[in-house]
A and B are shown apart, each in its own frame.
Chain A
């Protein structure tokens, strides 16, 4: 409950922020990463930080609108609170124009999903589990998770298949 209210207020604030400074923030000249790059976003996007690619380190990732929920998964014991950026927010932040999003993991696992599936209660690009950065040995650096416990529809084969871990690349396609 409290999570949901928090999420909504955050979303509202983000939208307001996005509306106010869409053009200047997502210009060509987005800040370049200073640390290890944990995620690169490419394809049909409006803003990048070099070579039409947006490369995000932990610091830049943390600057994006943050979202979190607590859930269990079929791959982990017990529940954990996952924190990160909603795919939806990320796509908005990069000014994605395409209909399809392709996500690729370090182990070359690849999924493809319609951009419209990036819902406000949907996939979260989590980089923190219980507040701790996730290591490569534990599904890091980024794990696309869903609130499986809260939303019954997400306890499905397709959603499980989309729950890609060790994610490091996103490409927005037409």
Chain B
């Protein structure tokens, strides 16, 4: 850029210098020619007016006249007069002599007096001649003018002086002629010099002019070439604009159309001739946008601020000649042209594109809807299958406790394993649906990796032992305290280990955990399950993580597994931002790995089990609780994986006079809760395999205890995920370490820890939104209508039973109503009915009746809110 501009600058300077030089030279040559021509003209004029030839003539004539005079004198002397006869020859010769003298006199006068010699610059040269002639005339004239006698007497003297004069004049005249010749020579030389200079100047001028002519021709050629170039570019541009599929409309600062291309004609319906000169606003802007357009133009003119111009692509509505409006994509550029600012609008009719887009979106929505319907169907089916299946399993359990003969026991075992297998399959399908629907919420619980791995492996040891296979756990790193979802992590690893056991005979299965790296608060952990089994063919390694893939035919024959296990594992790993994979050699074994980022826990909290154990209540504190015991024993399910905690909790509850059932993990808790209607479920949140959240949600979803109060037991000083309580159907929570007093308070309704009470929101909007998302609109409407009918019936039933309160049938009805309200998200109604139920169980007639009084009003309010929703 710089060198170029410098070069251009120096070129222009050079050009300017050259121009000045040429102009100077031409002026100089012209000036020289003019000056020389003037000089030449003057010289020629002088030459023309000069009596040059006359000088020669006069000198010759002078000499001739002298010779003639001499001859006349000689003749007169020779003819001496015989007598005084005027006609005599002697007299005639005298007259002739006098005439000759006069002629010479006249000639001499001409020479001496004339300006001829002065004009020729020969005055000096002529002076001696003049003096000599004057001398002769002075001496001779008196004689000529005298008498004939005197004249005749003086003839010899005159003859002598004329002879002398002739000789002198000869010499002098030759000298004058020589001098004149020299003078004329020099003048001719001068003239020739002038002519030569004129010629040189002329040649120089011609050369210069030829040069200029050449320059002009070159410039002309360049200009023509440039003109051609410009024309070519212009025509190319015109062709480009003309063939553009987008409308190109050019307008000036005054908003009047300057140009309108073919596409614009086609899109808008105006011809170019119609459009040009028309205001853009009335031409293509729809009437209802016109005010805005005009205001924009005015603002831009006033302030120069452009909102639309040069701001890229945007969508607007434009109008055709017919008045029809259509959506368009528009970008406007501005340009400073020599005639002022112009605006170039590129405009694309996108009505077709929009229609196509809408059709595409509709098709996609339809497809997604169909897919969702299918998924929902599978989920619902699995779900519906699970309920009777649980019943079957529970029934089988009960049969198992009766006395059976060997054959019955064998078939019962078969039925139990088959039904458990079936439950696993159903759960797998449900898992897939849930994960795919994005319904899997990952916990951020504290992870005790060594404990977790041990817990995973232990239940599987018997199965491994049957195949004479050893299971080993190896921790290859020191792990910082971590947070993550122990249940999902366990699910993946358990799947790996189960697979490894299945394909390994007389070998080993090793579970390894190793920390790969820590970045900030993220630790990347790799888990490996290495077996010495049969391995996997390389061709199969890529597809074993796909759904419904079973590489071992025998595996399929046994009917174990759906082929979904690894698919679920991969989905879960990805949900945790992790990855799963396999490395295997056929015949030598396999290594399944899981790499997953886990959060490094900031606080190093003490082991919760230890704190719980140290907080055993003192015996003297039990006294106030006896009152509670008398108010009515509750049927309580304790779900707690830690044995110590379990024992402590059981002991405390028994002291409070309640009936206690124990479950050792989430899954067991769910099974128990579904099988039996508990009044209260005490749920530990942090459990391996299935955490408290999940278990609570599952209990709420179905079964005998779906309307039970679920109280979470957590180590967190203050639960940071309150929303998850409501989501999982947890009513309240207790913080570890537990005291008997807190426990007793939580079990009555005097605690402020209850989430749902009179102050609870009327409706759980999130729940409604969730329902709206899951269910089709018609289905939702039907559900709501059914709920209202159902609830009306329940309220009637409650009214009918109220007189006999508290009764078991009233409690059952309240329970049913609370469940229905919970499903629909009628939080306050649910809480109210649940409390009535609890009070019924507690036998508190007064409180039940008090609550019953406000029930109808609450239902009306809830119904109004529901209608507002619908």
Contacts and interface: CB of A to CB of B under 8 A. Distances in A.
Interface residues of B, number: 21
Contacts, number: 55
Given A155-B49, A157-B52, A136 B115 contact: no
B775 to A, nearest CB: 128
B503 interface: no
Interface in B390-412: none
Interface in B524-573: none
Interface stretch (B102-110, B171-179, B195-203, B733-741): B102-110
B387 interface: no
Interface stretch (A33-41, A47-55, A70-78, A113-121): A70-78
B103 A106 contact: yes
A156 B49 contact: yes
Contact of A76 (B50, B51, B103, B114): B114
B46 to A, nearest CB: 10
A161 B53 contact: yes
A72 B51 CA distance: 14
Chain B binding site: helix, strand, loop or mixed by DSSP?
Answer: helix
Interface of B: 48-54, 61, 65, 99, 102-103, 105-106, 109-110, 113-116, 119
Contact of B106 (A74, A77, A136, A157): A136
A150 interface: no
A174 interface: no
28 contacts: A72-B115, A73-B114, A74-B51, A74-B114, A74-B115, A74-B116, A74-B119, A75-B110, A75-B113, A75-B115, A76-B113, A76-B115, A77-B113, A77-B114, A106-B99, A106-B103, A107-B103, A136-B102, A136-B103, A136-B106, A137-B106, A137-B109, A139-B106, A155-B48, A157-B50, A157-B54, A161-B54, A166-B106
A138 interface: yes
A153 to B, nearest CB: 10
Contacts of A136: 99, 102-103, 106
A158 B278 CA distance: 85
A165 interface: yes
Nearest to A156: B48
Contacts of A75: 110, 113-116
A87 to B, nearest CB: 21
Nearest to B102: A136
Contacts of B110: 75, 139
A139 B113 CA distance: 13
Interface of A: 72-77, 106-107, 135-139, 155-157, 160-161, 165-166
Given A157-B48, A157-B52, A107 B65 contact: yes
Contacts of A139: 106, 110
Contacts of A156: 48-49
B51 A157 contact: yes
Contacts of B48: 155-157
A136 B106 CA distance: 7
Contacts of B50: 157
B186 to A, nearest CB: 20
Interface centre among A75, A135, A161 (most CB of B within 10 A): A75
A138 B106 CA distance: 5
Contacts of A77: 113-115
A161 B61 CA distance: 13
A137 B102 contact: yes
B129 to A, nearest CB: 16
Nearest to A106: B103
A74 B103 contact: no
Nearest to B100: A107
Nearest to B52: A157
Contacts of B103: 106-107, 136, 166
Nearest to B111: A75
Contacts of A73: 114-115
Contacts of A107: 61, 65, 103
Given A74-B115, A77-B115, A137 B54 contact: no
A123 B519 CA distance: 132
A142 B54 CA distance: 20
Contacts of B49: 155-156
Contacts of B115: 72-77
A137 B105 contact: yes
B832 to A, nearest CB: 143
Contacts of A72: 115
A33 B730 CA distance: 175
A138 B51 contact: no
A77 B130 CA distance: 15
A138 B65 CA distance: 15
A80 to B, nearest CB: 11
Contacts of A74: 51, 54, 114-116, 119
Contacts of B106: 136-139, 165-166
A161 B53 CA distance: 9
